[in-house]
Amino acid sequence: MQNWFSLTLLQNKGLAIFMTNHKSYITNKLFSIAMYSNKPFKVYSITYTIANMNIKLRSFFWLLAFAISSATYSQEFPSNPADAKMGWWREAKFGLFIHWGIYAVPAGKYVYNLPDGKYKEDITQGEWIMNRCKIPVAEYRKYAEHFNPTKFNAEEWVLTAKAAGQKYIVITTKHHDGFAMYKSETSNYNIYDATPFKRDPLKELAEACRKYGMKLGFYYSQAQDWGHKGGAPNKWHWDKAAQDGSMDAYIDSIAAPQVKELLTNYGDVAVLWWDTPKDMTPELAQKLDDITRQHPNLITNNRLGGGIRGDLETPEQYIPASGYPGRNWEVCMTVNDHWGYNAYDDNWKSTKELLRKLIDITSKGGNFLLNVGPTAEGIIPPVCVNTLKEMGDWLKINGEAIYGTTANPFDYLSWGRATRKGQKVYIHVFDWPKNGQLNVPFANIITKAYLLEDTTTLLRTKQMANKVLVSVPNIAPDKMATVVVLEFKGEPIVLPKLTENATAIATSELDTAHGINKIFSTNPKDFYSAGKDQKETTIELDLGKPQAVAGIMLAEPWRAWEKKEQQYLLSYKVGNDWKILAEETTNGTGHTKLFGTVTTQFIRLQLNNKTDAPRLNQLLLYRPD
């Protein structure tokens, strides 16, 4: 094995020491430091191979690396001033999304009146029901007359979030239906003026949040508004008399003044969560951005439109394979299949599933904004309250491994995930080892190992080349996820990606911007695409040398609701033959397959797509454990 040793002087940043088996790992590491740096800096780096050194000399270099790196690399990634407002948000990791509106009255069921007194029922959607069923504005407005959520209790909602270990709430103040869930002076189409409730739930929620130290953010559908003239493109309107109009006039007379109300009448607002920037021009977006900029601590997401990036990337209903390097990001997701209340949707995700999603997201450096859709009475569905409570119970014990952590140093762990804080790596074990030995591919010196749920009992560790074996109890202490803490010296030393030195060719490429090399990019915006009109492509990977491979991950570019899928046949080369490893169907957002270990230099992926040209954001190969 070839070892590389690098002594690197980072201008204004001090000294960095790297040891690895791959020179390109060093380059990558430097690049990522440069990315996070707020000052321009030059890198002076000398890289030596120590392949031929004798064992004593090699150990000396390893020790030197540990000693110097732990002494000089303690600054982590320096934050730049614009990041100061993100501090609490990065710590928070877990928030509660609330989709609440008069769509909770139909609760997913619409009845069409047909001629001759007949009728037809349609069970569909939550907050999109008005659009899906093409309900005229005047008719939809009647739901407001039946919206009287007398069981709404702001403190209970905040305490539900607290019990879940959530640090912030983002609530819909106006969804696409255009109905404001607060007392608005701008439009009387609001909960105070148009319902029998006659209360302002946002006021109550803002007070309760202040009382319990919960951050409060507002979702506001700025472009798509089916209840006011000019909200979103006229071509999408179904009740033209009530909906068609000028979008400029709509932004000036509804969206802008309402956003001002929201940012002035409810105390400190933590987040403004825009949604669906349909037809938002740079000029219109600027008007809204100017308003939010009056509030320097306000965090905004990337959905305003008009080319404004905002502070957050917001993957919806899926977890991006490698997060968004260099950006703050937040996965929003539903507990069942709808955002707004749908009485007919019982497809609840389990606590274990959601908790593991929180861990997965955290391990990639993101936040989790988990949604509930309260009823028209003002109740958060009890299933959700229970699930949230169970997640909170886990976090009470294991929160240290989530809050304030940074992304995981590993590429992938088939049996779990990892997070990091300073000199601690938290290993979240999903599949407990049957032999009582946890095999962690981590080359650093471990000073201490223990379970987070029992910090006083130290676990035995055995350091091996490129990995550490941790002796753990025979039975998983926690069925959902058990956290093993490894305290270590220096910067994390992990193996490079299996595809680190790989090259790829494909039988079809759309253009150079979507060339096959995009499968090696960790930017989720990059993707490879086969040529237009192609329904299949064959990709061949050359790993540079024979490697032990045990699994594959394909990140795909479609949205969860597009329900796309691709078929693939995965093979590897033995001699002159190709042997099949897997034949599977993906779901269009991302797919992982473990197939047992093979050693090969060449991998072939035949990808078929029935509806579009095959596409991939990223391809990762996994080592055996």
- Minimum CB separation of residue 326 from ligand H79 in Å reads 24
Under the binding rule (CB under 6 A), the answer on residue 105 touching ligand H79 is no
Q: Kindly state the smallest distance separating residue 372's Cβ from ligand H79, in Å.
A: 13
* SS3 at position 472: coil
Stretch that binds ligand H79, among 121-129, 151-159, 423-431, 491-499 (CB under 6 A): 121-129
For ligand H79, the closer of residues 310 and 409 by Cβ is 310
Q: Which is nearer to ligand H79, 332 or 620 (CB)?
A: 332
Told to check if 592 binds ligand H79 by CB under 6 A, we report no
Q: Whose Cβ is closer to ligand H79: residue 125's or residue 522's?
A: 125
Instruction: Assign residue 535 a region (left: φ > 0; alpha: ψ between -120 and 50; beta: otherwise).
Output: alpha
Q: How far apart are the first and last CA of the chain?
A: 19
C-alpha to C-alpha distance for 4 and 50, rounded to whole angstroms: 6
Contact indicator for 173, 226 with CB cutoff of 8 Å: no
Q: Does 125 bind ligand H79 (CB under 6 A)?
A: yes
Question: Which distant-in-sequence residues (6+ apart) come within 8 Å of 581 by Cβ?
Answer: 552, 570, 571, 572, 595, 598, 603
By the rule CB under 6 A, 335 interacts with ligand H79: no
Closer to ligand H79 by Cβ: residue 344 or 561 = 561
Q: Give, in order, the Cα–Cα distances in Å from 315 to each of 71, 307, 318, 331, 378.
A: 37, 17, 6, 5, 28
CB of 99: closest distance to ligand H79 in angstroms?
A: 6
Residue 345 backbone phi and psi in degrees, to 5 = -100, 105
Q: Which of residues 83-102 bind ligand H79 (CB under 6 A)?
A: 99
Q: Which residues, listed in sequence order, are joined to residue 372 by a DSSP beta bridge?
A: 98
- Measured from the CB atom, the residue of 125 and 606 that comes closer to ligand H79 is 125
Eight-class DSSP state of 589 = S
In one-letter notation, the amino acid at residue 607 is L
Distances (CA, A) of 252 to 231, 233, 420, 432: 11, 16, 46, 57
Please report whether residue 128 would count as binding ligand H79 according to CB under 6 A.
Answer: yes
Q: Is 43 exposed, middle or buried (0-12, 13-18, 19+ CB in 10 A)?
A: middle
Choose one: 55-63, 127-135, 394-402, 517-525; the region binding ligand H79 (CB under 6 A). 127-135
According to the binding rule CB under 6 A, does residue 275 interact with ligand H79? yes
Sketch the per residue contact string, 542 through 561, with ligand H79: x for CB under 6 A, - otherwise. -------------------x
Distance (Å, whole) CA 530 – CA 292: 41
User: Quick one: which of 86, 243, 95, 92 has its CA closest to 178?
Assistant: 243
Point out which span in 123-131, 446-454, 533-541, 617-625 binds ligand H79 (CB under 6 A): 123-131
The reply to whether 491 sits near ligand H79 by the rule CB under 6 A is no
Residue 225: CB minimum distance to ligand H79, A: 12
Q: In terms of Cα–Cα distance, which of 372, 345, 352 is closest to 157?
A: 372
Residue 332 binding ligand H79, by CB under 6 A = yes
Token pair 């193996």: residue: 495
330 binding ligand H79? (CB under 6 A): no
Q: Residue 337 or 400: which CB sits closer to ligand H79?
A: 337
Identity of the residue, 109 or 489, whose beta carbon is nearer to ligand H79 in the bound complex: 109
127 is an interface residue for ligand H79 by CB under 6 A: yes
Name the residue nearer to ligand H79 (CB basis): 212 or 561: 561
* Binding residue count for ligand H79, defined by CB under 6 A: 11
Nearer residue to ligand H79 within complex by CB, 17 or 232: 232
CA pseudo-torsion sign 621, 20, 451, 163: negative
Nearest-angstrom CA–CA distance, 540 and 571: 9
Rounded to a whole number of angstroms, the minimum distance from the CB of residue 70 to ligand H79 is: 43
Cβ-based nearer residue to ligand H79, 77 or 236: 236
Task: Find the part of the chain contacting ligand H79 (CB under 6 A) among 122-130, 151-159, 204-212, 385-393.
Answer: 122-130
The yes or no reply on residue 123 touching ligand H79 (CB under 6 A) is no
Sites for ligand H79 among residues 423-462 (CB under 6 A)? none
Q: Which of residues 130-169 bind ligand H79 (CB under 6 A)?
A: 132
Please tell me the distance from the alpha carbon of residue 338 to that of residue 38, in angstroms, as a whole number.
41
Site string for ligand H79, 559-578 (x = CB under 6 A): --x-----------------
Q: How far is the CB of 128 from ligand H79 (least distance, A)?
A: 4
Q: Is 369 in the site for ligand H79 (CB under 6 A)?
A: no
339 touches ligand H79 by CB under 6 A: yes
Residues 333, 334, 335: CA angle, nearest 5 degrees: 125
Place of tokens 């992938």: 412
Work out whether 344 is an interface residue with ligand H79 (CB under 6 A): no
Nearest to ligand H79 of 139, 562 (CB atom): 562
Segment near ligand H79 (CB under 6 A); pick from 33-41, 124-132, 305-313, 376-384: 124-132
Looking at the Cβ atoms of 125 and 336, the one nearer to ligand H79 is 125
DSSP structure class, residue 496 = P
* Non-local CB neighbours of 221 within 8 Å, separated by 6+ positions: 172, 174, 175, 176, 178, 274, 275, 276
Q: Does 304 bind ligand H79 (CB under 6 A)?
A: no
Q: At what angle do helices 351-363 and 382-398 cross, to 10 degrees?
A: 50
Beta carbon nearer to ligand H79, 41 or 561: 561
Which residue matches tokens 């094995």?
1
| Least distance (Å) between residue 129 CB and ligand H79 | 9
Q: Counting contacts by CB under 6 A, is residue 179 touching ligand H79?
A: no
Q: Which is nearer to ligand H79, 339 or 568 (CB)?
A: 339
Q: Which residue is nearest to ligand H79 (CB)?
A: 128
Handedness of CA 92, 362, 360, 328 (dihedral sign): positive
Task: Give the x-and-dash track for 33-62 against ligand H79 (CB under 6 A).
Answer: ------------------------------
- Per CB under 6 A, the list member of 253, 276, 592, 601 interacting with ligand H79 is 276
Q: How far, in Å, CA of 254 to CA of 22, rounded?
A: 57
CB of 342 to ligand H79, least distance (A): 11
| 170 touches 219 (CB < 8 A) | yes
* 123 residue type, one letter: I
- Per residue, the 3-state secondary structure of 98-157, as one string, reads ECCCHHHCCCCEEEEECHHHCEEEEECCCCCHHHHCCCCHHHHHHHHHCCCCCCCCHHHH
Burial of 45 (0-12, 13-18, 19+ CB in 10 A): middle
Residues in contact with ligand H79 by CB under 6 A are 99, 125, 127-128, 132, 275-276, 316, 332, 339, 561
